Structure 1
Amino acid sequence: MKRLKPTGEYIYTFAYTEDEKELCQMEMRAFFSKDTNDKIIRSDVGFEPSRSPFVKERIEVLFEAAELAGILEQSADVNMETDTFKVIFLKINGLALADKVDFDEKREIERQIGAAITGEADVHNPDVTFGLIPFGDRWYFGKYRQSESVWFRHQQKPREYSTALSTKVARAIANIAVPDPVGIKAIDPCCGIGTVLVEALSMGIDIVGRDINPLVVDGSRENIAHFGLTGKVDLGPIADIEQQYDVAIIDMPYNLYTHATPAEQLEILKHAQPFTEKLLVVTIESIDHMIEEAGFTIIDRCIAKKALFLREILVCERTDNPSNSVKQLQQA
């Protein structure tokens, strides 16, 4: 295939239920520094779409145009040489009415673009898949990549308990905590059976785990090994942590194996303050006052729902971090 130079922009499409909307939008803000009520976003931020449990597809934009005719014209410059290809018109439920195209028209547009491209089409097993989508007042064409539900494969693990985070929520939390893993060191100091650790490690995030309960530490190690991953999980209290980390993820203990009283929860937060600048907390009860008392400031938040069970997810930074003055959310 003759190399086409990407524009540096990407189009992502999303799929989520109404209960998942807040969590998905929080993940969007972590990745893109913005969110949307539409199930589509354009950004210059590029990442593997399978990282997100909510991303359906990604187009790496090769060219765009105000009209479809402009896409057809530029498609004539594409020479696949020895590579086979196919073109798909993305189906997006969240598109505005003006952007919607019916089924027959989509197939005809796919055929026209395919005919304009120099090369051999293969609808079943192509070397390259191209995607086309209208968005806003423009058309976008580029390399298409479909997301894989990696988190789904992690649902069946050797060790589990009923109140653990779902793998889908855990994956989103790992992304919110560490949207760009390059050079970032993370820790889950109350890791339980390692649901967050498995998701984070599977995405190449440099993270270690820790817990005071030897039973769940063993379970966490077994779960990590079960999926062919390598990760360190230590036994010990959060108070003993001496190394510095860029981010800590704390799912407040509330299950049968490790339950923390309010006083113990506050101590956990206070012990986290010296070793991390950024903290992501998962809690089933309001702990804003504890966050503040422990020396952190909440900069983003959402509710993650699982039937009638609600978890609050709080992204915090150390209050003594000067950047907090511009990052704080406006509280209603």
Structure 2
Amino acid sequence: MEFTNQDLSTYVYMYSYPEEERSLCALEMRSFFGKDTDNKVLESFVEVDPSRSPFMKERIRVIFEEENFQDLLKQTETLDLEGATFKVNYVKNRALAKAEKEGFKRRRIVEKEIGLHVYGEADLDHADRLFGVTNVNGRWVFGDYTKSEPVWLQHQKKPHEYSTALGTRVARAVANIAIPIPHDIKAIDPCCGIGTVLVEALSMGIDIVGSDRNRLIINGVRENIEHFNLEGEVNLADIRDITNHYDVAIIDLPYNLCSVISDEEQLEMLQSARRFADKLVVVTVEPIDEVIEAAGFSITDRAVAKKDLSGLFTREVIVCE
């Protein structure tokens, strides 16, 4: 299961992101967990596959935790692997001050010490179970380890691309912000462009359809989806003509010289979204709060996604309900 809090296990998530994406990462955190953090380590009872996020790097499902490392070693002796092989990874805590961080040799020693206390056979190459150990918030934690797979990297090269399309990292984060819990959620990208958000959402198992009024790009969108062995519905349709109802809509508003739209057209687009979707995540390069409110939505959260630290090109990601 991808997203649950039924077993009440504690999960420790390790994050990494460039400074210009801090705000976007924090919004994704709040969407997943209802909270965020500045120190790149987040603890929660909520389980999320770390490969969903472009910012999560590793996850530990905590089995044992102790303030003292020697006490943690004693706990690991009680672990029953039922004959499975194992490997222990020291997970670096990027939130620690430089003086507190464990060096390479010390990390290897910690891994070895724990390995010697776990009753079972270690296998560094093809272990049945992977364990992680780290020091977080003044205590040692040990548990099942999962490393993120940067799936979004594979989607950077598509058969068809737009120079103005969202980057795959931002597109993946936007999909997560819009649909943090995919179960029983139907979503739509009604101005899908070349399909960057669609590809990211479909690769995470999100039930989403795409549409666009530009007939020249529809086949390109379908080819992009098929290129990654995904399946998804893409229709030629104007946003004003959509009649089906969806739980969530994602709209990346046009902004380049070839797609200039007036305030009136923006309002008409968002009014259409208000009619067929309960929730909206809109991506914009210009202030549109008044247009959003005039369309009948309320802004519930937001983030800024900068292209680089210069801040010369900035998008806003706005969550509306």
| TM-score (norm: length of structure 1) | 0.90
Deviations along 1:37-83, whole A, 9 cap, x unmatched?
01111101101110000000011111211221221111001233432
CA distance in 2, matches of 1:99, 1:183: 44
CA distance in 2, matches of 1:7, 1:231: 34
CA distance in 2, matches of 1:129, 1:193: 39
* Residue type of the alignment partner of 1:311: R
Report the Cα offset of residue 111 of structure 1.
1.2
Report the counterpart of residue 316 of structure 2 in structure 1: 312
Report the counterpart of residue 207 of structure 1 in structure 2: 208
Whether the aligned pair in 1 keeps the contact of 2:41 and 2:94 (CA below 8 Å) is: no
Report the counterpart of residue 175 of structure 1 in structure 2: 176
Report the counterpart of residue 220 of structure 2 in structure 1: 219
Whether the aligned pair in 2 keeps the contact of 1:39 and 1:95 (CA below 8 Å) is: no
Deviations along 1:265-293, whole A, 9 cap, x unmatched?
11100111111111000001000110010
Whether the aligned pair in 1 keeps the contact of 2:93 and 2:136 (CA below 8 Å) is: no
Report the counterpart of residue 292 of structure 1 in structure 2: 293
Report the counterpart of residue 189 of structure 2 in structure 1: 188
Report the counterpart of residue 10 of structure 2 in structure 1: 9
Whether the aligned pair in 1 keeps the contact of 2:72 and 2:140 (CA below 8 Å) is: yes
Whether the aligned pair in 1 keeps the contact of 2:27 and 2:36 (CA below 8 Å) is: yes
Q: Which moved more, 1:56-65 or 1:78-87?
A: 78-87
Report the counterpart of residue 84 of structure 1 in structure 2: 85
Q: Which moved more, 1:77-86 or 1:165-174?
A: 77-86
User: Structure 1 residue 281 and structure 2 residue 282: aligned?
Assistant: yes
* Residue type of the alignment partner of 2:120: G
Report the Cα offset of residue 255 of structure 1.
3.4
Sequence identity (%): 55
Give structure 1 regions of 4+ aligned residues with deviation exceeding 4 angstroms.
96-99
Deviations along 1:101-133, whole A, 9 cap, x unmatched?
233222222111111111111222222110001
When the two structures are aligned, how many residues end up with a matched partner?
A: 312
Q: Give the direction of change, closer, same or farther, for the CA distance of 1:70–1:99 in structure 2 (3 Å limit).
A: farther
Report the counterpart of residue 150 of structure 1 in structure 2: 151
Whether the aligned pair in 2 keeps the contact of 1:99 and 1:136 (CA below 8 Å) is: no
* Residue type of the alignment partner of 2:38: N
Deviations along 1:13-40, whole A, 9 cap, x unmatched?
0110101111111100100100000111
Unaligned runs of 5+ residues in structure 1 are 1-5, 318-332
Report the Cα offset of residue 242 of structure 1.
1.3
Report the Cα offset of residue 161 of structure 1.
1.1
Report the counterpart of residue 105 of structure 2 in structure 1: 104
Whether the aligned pair in 2 keeps the contact of 1:80 and 1:120 (CA below 8 Å) is: no
CA distance in 1, matches of 2:255, 2:88: 50
Whether the aligned pair in 2 keeps the contact of 1:244 and 1:275 (CA below 8 Å) is: yes
Aligned-residue Cα RMSD (Å) equals: 1.5
Report the Cα offset of residue 233 of structure 1.
0.8
Q: Give the direction of change, closer, same or farther, for the CA distance of 1:42–1:96 in structure 2 (3 Å limit).
A: farther
Deviations along 1:203-226, whole A, 9 cap, x unmatched?
000000011101122221111111
CA distance in 1, matches of 2:302, 2:153: 25
Q: Which moved more, 1:32-41 or 1:254-263?
A: 254-263
* Residue type of the alignment partner of 1:231: G
CA distance in 2, matches of 1:300, 1:210: 25
1:316-327 map, 5 Å: 316-317=320-321
Whether the aligned pair in 2 keeps the contact of 1:57 and 1:144 (CA below 8 Å) is: yes
Report the Cα offset of residue 94 of structure 1.
2.1
Whether the aligned pair in 1 keeps the contact of 2:91 and 2:134 (CA below 8 Å) is: yes
